[in-house]
Amino acid sequence: MPVVAAVIGALVGGGVGAAAANGGGGGTKIIRQVVQPNSSVIARPATVKEVLAKVEAGVVSIHTDLGDGTGMVITPDGQVLTNNHVIQGATRIQVKLFNSTTSQSATLLGHDTTDDVALLKLQGASGLATVTLGDSSKVQVGDDVIAVGNALALPGGPTVTSGIISAVGRNLGDPTVPTNLLQTDAAINPGNSGGPLVNSQGQVIGINTLVIQQANAQESAQNLGFAIPVNDVKPLLSDLSRGVNKATAYLGVSVGDLTPDIAQRFGLTITHGAIIADLDPNGPAAQAGLQQDDVITIFDGKNVSDSGGLVGLIRAHEPGDRVALTYVRGKTTQTTTVTLGTRPTSGG
């Protein structure tokens, strides 16, 4: 192992150096070095195969009339957790269990568009293998993880990829996606949505949800996958199992943080806010007169410090709410009222 080799090399090098320093011209002096056995223990990390063996039986493929995704069996009687966007708008949901050659119908118990989660039920199921939900509060940058899912709906079973936790607590400034995301460099592709991000103990610590493949029109992005922390999902499960549905308020903008560099570029004197990077031309913000590069500074009477703050304020509302909004455009500050919509279906 590299660590052990480095330690041994250091000991050998030290011994040789000592002999040379004391081996002067008067004669040969032999230095005898006694090295005690190393009693430290380095924990052997589980291999990907060992981790996979703990989780793969509880991972399912989901097929709808609109596309494909992944799910996780969380109860022996067939409750399946997935992303809401995997099944949203579908009229037919089919689930294929691990190592099964046939699919079976599933019904939707409940969904939450705000957090992009949904709970399905396989009828008449019993004794199914389940995944183990872990504790995402213990996740740290650099932790080993694997992703399991129905990537591109490739035949022959799920796709397994490995990587690390690249960041925690990510907010992407887009009200149409969840907040507080786990970022990973494990490859995530269309069809992985709703599948597990698993730690080295084989516990699910996130639901793979989205990937950024394009930084902008000129630059592509790589290894930027995101998962919903499982601790954000656990409190929702009871309501979802009882058929409680929640819709997300929608402003129709993608925003970023107003930085000093951006403020200087646009000649702005303000130091905080959420700058509109893009907006839905038919969304509530556009209908209220907002434009790209406007900086939202107040939402519903509350100061907007950054993009994450705006997302949180939007999510505190319901579709149909009328909200006062203040924004800065160039040298002018304006106030308008927007009627929040309902978040449209996101990607596959």
Tens of pLDDT along the chain (348 residues) come to 333 233 222 222 233 333 333 333 344 343 333 444 444 444 455 789 999 999 999 999 999 999 999 999 999 999 999 999 999 989 999 999 998 889 999 999 999 988 899 999 998 999 999 999 999 999 999 999 999 999 998 888 899 999 999 999 888 877 778 888 999 999 999 999 999 999 999 999 999 999 988 777 777 778 899 999 999 999 899 999 999 887 778 899 988 889 888 898 888 989 889 999 888 999 999 999 999 999 999 999 999 988 878 887 887 788 899 999 999 998 899 999 999 998 765 433
Co-location of 258 and 337 in the same domain: yes
Say if residue 221 is in the same domain as residue 177.
Answer: yes
- Return the amino acid letter for 280: D
pLDDT at 212: 87
Instruction: Compute the distance between CA of residue 136 and CA of residue 226 in angstroms, rounded to an integer.
Output: 13
In a shared domain, residues 258 and 193: no
**Is position 240 within any domain?**
no
Answer whether 134's CB lies under 8 Å from 196's CB.
no
Residue 174 resides in a domain: yes
306 located within any domain: yes
Q: Are residues 191 and 275 in the same domain?
A: no
Helix (H, G, I), strand (E, B) or coil at 151: helix
Domain CATH number, residue 220: 2.40.10.10
Query: Are 188 and 215 within one domain?
Result: yes
One domain, residues 76 and 98: yes
Q: Which domain holds residue 4?
A: 1-39
The CATH number of the domain where 281 resides is what? 2.30.42.10
Contact 233, 117 (CB under 8 A): yes
Q: Show which of 232, 265, 294 is a domain's final residue.
A: 232
Specify if 130 maps to a domain: no
Domain-embedded: residue 279: yes
- pLDDT for 42 equals 43
Q: Which long-range contacts (CB under 8 A, 24 or more apart) does 298-304 make?
A: 298/324, 298/325, 298/326, 298/335, 299/323, 299/325, 299/326, 300/324, 300/325, 303/272, 304/272, 304/273, 304/274
Which residues, at least 6 apart from 155, have a Cβ–Cβ distance to it below 8 Å?
none
Residues recognised as catalytic: 85, 116, 193
Q: Has residue 238 been placed in a domain? A: no
Residues 280 and 330 occupy one common structural domain: yes
270 and 335, same domain (yes or no)? yes
User: Residue 294, Cα to own-chain centre: how many angstroms?
Assistant: 28
CA nearest 294: which of 324, 262, 249, 319? Answer: 262
Instruction: Give the total number of structural domains in the chain.
Output: 4
Residue 189 lies in a domain: yes
Strand partners, 183: 167, 226
pTM reported for the whole predicted model: 0.69
Same domain? For 55 and 35 the reply is no
Q: Are residues 30 and 57 in the same domain?
A: no
For residues 299 and 137, give the distance between their C-alpha atoms in angstroms, rounded to a whole number: 30
Q: Does some domain include residue 80? A: yes
Residues in the chain: 348
Last residue of a domain, one of 183, 200, 232: 232
Euclidean distance between CA atoms 229 and 225, whole angstroms? 13
Taking CA atoms, 180 is separated from 116, 174, 233, 236, 335, in Å, by 13, 12, 12, 16, 29
Return the pLDDT at 32. Answer: 39
Element containing residue 334 per DSSP (H, E): strand 332-339
Q: Are residues 225 and 141 in the same domain?
A: yes
Residues 90 and 176 in one domain: no
Structure tokens at 33: 């070095």
Sequence-separated (6 or more) residues with CB below 8 Å from residue 94 = 62, 63, 64, 103, 104, 105, 106
